[in-house]
Chain A
Amino acid sequence: MTTIVYEDHEGQAEGRDVPVRRIKFTVNGEKKIAEVEPRLLLAHLIRRGLGLTGTHMGCDTTNCGACTVLVDGRPVKSCTMLAVQVDGREISTVEGLATASELHPLQEGFKEEHGLQCGFCTPGMMMAAKALLDENPDPTEEDVRWALSGNLCRCTGYQNIVKSVLWAAAKLRSESASSESDPNPQVERRRLSTAG
C-alpha cells in the first residue's frame, strides 16, 4: 500500500488547523491511502497527489471531458468530483489501459486511425470510450458519437476518433471471439457517414 500525504495546495496550511480526511481507494488496481482536504478535486488528487498526469485538466468547468476517469467503472469528470468522495472506490485512469508490453486496443485504435492530433483530449476520449465498450462491445457509429458527446476535441473534427473507437471495438471482439492469439486480426472497417 502506498501512502500519499497531499500538501495544502496554496501553502496556507502552515500554522493553521486545516482538517484533512483519510481516504482509501484503488487506482488502476493499486491500493492507496491519502490524506486530503475536502475541497481537493479528484483531478488534482490524480495529477498532483498520485503523479498520474495522463488525466488532463482542460476547461475546469465540466464541459470538455479531458479529465474523464472511471469511478467504479463509470466515466466521471474528475474536475467536478471531490477527492474525498472516492473513499472506498476504484478509479481507472488512462495509465491503467496499457500493460508493460502492450497497448490497449483503444490506444492501438487511436494510433492506427489517427485519432489524435495534439492529444490533449485523448485520455478523456479513451476513458469515455472504454466505459462504452465495457458496456456495449459492438457499438454503432451513432452509439460512439453519443457516448463521446461529452468530450471535446478541437483538432480532429471527431471523424478519426470515432473510427479509432470502432477499430478498438472490432479488435476487442475478435480477441474475445478467438482464444488463439492472432497477431494481425481482421478488423472490420465500417463505412462512416459524413453526417455531423
Chain B
Amino acid sequence: MYPSRFRYEAPRSLNEAISLLHDGGDYAKVLAGGQSLVPLMKLRFASPQLVVDINNVPGLDYHQADPDGTLRIGALCRHADLERSGLLKTTQPTMAAAAPLIADPIVRNRGTLVGSLCHADPQGDWASVVLALGGSVVARGPRGTRAIPLADFVTGPFQNVLDPDEVAVEAVIPAAKGTRSGGYLKLERRVGDFATIGVAVAIETGGEAVTRAGIALPGVGGSTIAATAAAEALTGRPLTPDTIGQAAELATQAARPRTDHRGSAEYKRHMVRTFVLRLLSRADAAPDRAERAA
C-alpha cells in the first residue's frame, strides 16, 4: 500500500513549520512519530496534500518537570522515552503504568504522546491518562500559543480543535496538590491491539482524604469517557471499600461499550468495574504490565 502523492517538507524550526502549514492550504498534516498518520495515509483514509515532518525540529523531544512539579512532554517525546523515564516512575504513577502498554515496543520507538492525543482515537491509551490527570495540549500557530484542556481538545473520534496552521507543541500535566497515586490497566487481546477496555485512575490524597480524582475510560464509547461522577464520589472522602465500590459503580455506568469482536458490551462493562476496583484498592501504584484476555 502506498500513500497518495503529497508534498513533503522537513522544516528545522517551529516557526518554519507553522508558516508552511499556514501557506499550505486546507489539507496539510504534521508528521511526528507517524505511527497513526502513515498507516492512515497508506489506507488512504488520509490523503494530505502537504506533510510537514517536524522530526528535524530541535528541542521537542523533552519530558521534564517544572520546579512546581508541572510536567511538560514535547511533541517529539516518544512512548519509549516515557517507558524508560525515571521521572515518570517516581512522580507519575498513572503515566508510568500506561507507557509500557502503548502499542508494541517497536511502535513505541517512533510514536509520540502528543501525536497520540492529536490523533484522538477513542481507544487511545494516552488520551484517557491525560484526561484523568486533568492535562492539556499546548498549540502554537501564527496567532500565538494557547493551552487547551484535553477535555476540550478532542471533539470526536479522530477530531481535535487544532486550526490547520497550528502545531501541538507539548502536553502539560498539572502539578499534584497532594500525594499522587493511581494507575492504568488495559485489557488487550494481544500486544499491539487496541484496548478492549482500559481504565486510567489518577488520585491525589492529602492526609486520609482524596483531594483530586480523575477516572477516564478508553475503548468504551465514541470518544474517551471521563467518569466525572465516579471521580466526584471520591473527592473529599477517604478511599474505603464503600467509596471505592461506589466509584466503580459510577464509572461502570459512565461506560458506553458496544458489543464487537473484542467482546460483549456486558463483558466490557464488567471489566471496567473490575479494573476500577483493582486500581483504587491497590495500595502501591507500581507500573503494571498488560492484563490480557486469556
Which of B99-107, B128-136, B257-265 lies at the interface?
B99-107
Interface residues of A in 126-172 (CB under 8 A from B): 128, 146-147, 149-151
A81: chain B residues within 8 A (beta carbon) = 34, 38, 110
Q: Which of chain B's residues have a CB closer than 8 A to the CB of A10?
A: 2
B288 → A minimal CB distance (Å): 13
Partner of A60, one of B1, B41, B192: B1
Q: Digitize A18-43: 1 where CB-to-B-CB distance is under 8 Å, 0 elsewhere.
A: 11010000000000000001111100
Interface residues of A in 175-189 (CB under 8 A from B): none
The yes or no answer to A9 lying at the interface (CB within 8 A) is yes
Decide yes or no whether A121 CB sits under 8 A from chain B. no
Chain B nearest Cβ from A40, distance in angstroms: 8
CB distance B2 to A39 under 8 Å? yes
Tell me the dominant secondary structure on chain A's binding face.
Answer: loop
B4 at the interface (CB under 8 A from A): yes
B106 x A65 contact (CB < 8 A): yes
Q: Report how many residues on chain A are interfacial, defined by Cβ distance under 8 Å.
A: 33
- The answer to the question of A105 belonging to the interface, with a C-beta cut-off of 8 Å to chain B, is no
Cβ-defined contact, A80 with B191, below 8 A: no
B109, A74: Cβ atoms under 8 Å?
yes
The reply to whether the CB of A55 lies closer than 8 angstroms to some CB of chain B is no
Query: Nearest chain A CB to B130's CB is how many angstroms away?
Result: 23
Partner of A80, one of B2, B4, B6, B39: B39
Contact yes or no, A76 B6, CB < 8 A: no
Q: A63 within 8 Å of B by Cβ?
A: yes
Contacts of B35 in A (CB 8 A): 62, 80
CA distance A63 to B1 in the complex (A): 14
B2 lies within 8 A of A128 (CB): no
Nearest CB of B to A91, in Å: 14
Taking a contact as CB atoms under 8 Å apart, the answer to whether B34 and A65 are in contact is no
User: Is residue B151 within 8 Å, beta carbon to beta carbon, of the partner chain?
Assistant: no
Q: Are A150 and B4 in contact (CB under 8 A)?
A: no
Residues of A within 8 A of B4 (CB): 39
CB within 8 Å for A147 and B105 given contacts A18-B5, A80-B35, A84-B8: yes
Known: A60-B1, A62-B107. A19 touches B7 (CB 8 A): yes
Q: What's the least CB distance linking B186 to chain A, in Å?
A: 13
| CB of A109 within 8 Å of the partner chain | no
Are A63 and B34 within 8 A (Cβ)? no
Whether B2 contacts A9 by the Cβ 8 Å rule is yes
Q: Are the C-beta atoms of B39 and A85 separated by less than 8 Å?
A: no
Q: Which residues of B contact A39 (CB under 8 A)?
A: 2-6, 41
Q: Within B32-77, which residues are at the interface with A (CB < 8 Å)?
A: 34-35, 38-39, 41-42, 51, 53, 55
Asked whether B10 is an interface residue with its Cβ less than 8 Å from the other chain, the reply is yes
Partner of B39, one of A9, A37, A62: A62
Mark interface residues in A73-109 (1 if CB within 8 Å of B CB, else 0): 0111101111011010000000000000000000000
**Nearest-CB residue, chain A, relative to B106:** A150
Name the B residues within 8 Å of A80 (CB-CB): 34-35, 38-39, 107, 110
The answer for the CA separation of A30 and B39 in the assembled complex, in Å, is: 29
Closest A residue by C-beta to B55: A85
From A62, A65, A84, B10 is in contact (CB under 8 Å) with A84
Extra inter-chain contacts (11) besides given A60-B1, A75-B105, A81-B38, CB under 8 Å = A37-B5, A38-B8, A39-B3, A39-B5, A65-B104, A76-B110, A81-B110, A84-B53, A85-B10, A150-B103, A150-B104
